[in-house]
Amino acid sequence: EAGVTQSPTHLIKTRGQQATLRCSPISGHTSVYWYQQALGLGLQFLLWYDEGEERNRGNFPPRFSGRQFPNYSSELNVNALELEDSALYLCASRSRDEQFFGPGTRLTVL
Amino acid sequence: QKEVEQDPGPLSVPEGAIVSLNCTYSNSAFQYFMWYRQYSRKGPELLMYTYSSGNKEDGRFTAQVDKSSKYISLFIRDSQPSDSATYLCAMSADYGQNFVFGPGTRLSVLP
């Protein structure tokens, strides 16, 4: 069974640009979670999608947004990038009460 | 007070040692508890999952949950250099709701 996949692996942008990150959940999983993990910090919850709907969002500004497609894959968009947005962005899909993480996208904002 | 607290480490132990990793939490509604292992620059990998209080054992790993004390632990027996990683605790109150993570403890097992 394939795990959670994320693309791209690395992304380099400049301040003010937009970034789009993609995630494909494990087959059969309908819930997708997005987290930000900045260097030296824990995982910060960003967004939760289930069955195509945004179910909850963490304490992040509106320039962090996303969507979930009919095939349950998901996209995270970050607009007006700031230097402090540099982090590892992790996607997870859920089976019952367990989350399974992808390898992450490392976003660097210059 | 943070919702989930975890000893930050780093923690260094010799190969073969018993390792104890701990988290405390403040939200008494948490009832789903997880431990993840994260290697450098990789995504977290689920190690153990427990529901409510009690112990769970899987090979060299044992997870303990004490809801009365709001305290969870992960024990690693016969630690190996390959166990060197950051260990994250996570917990959730409701089915499918927010998972709250601890900041992680970095563990180094020295050969």
By the CB < 8 Å criterion, does A106 face chain B? yes
pLDDT at B97 (0 to 100): 66
Pair B38, B86: CB distance under 8 Å: yes
pLDDT lower than 70: segments of chain B? 1, 95-97
Peptide bond into B10 cis (omega under 30): yes
Which residue type sits at B65?
Answer: V
Of A55, A96, A101, the CB nearest to B44: A101
Q: Decide if A102 and B43 are in contact by the 8 Å CB cutoff.
A: yes
Rounded Cα gap, residues A21 and B45, in angstroms: 20
pLDDT digits 0-9 by tens, A31-40 = 999 999 988 7
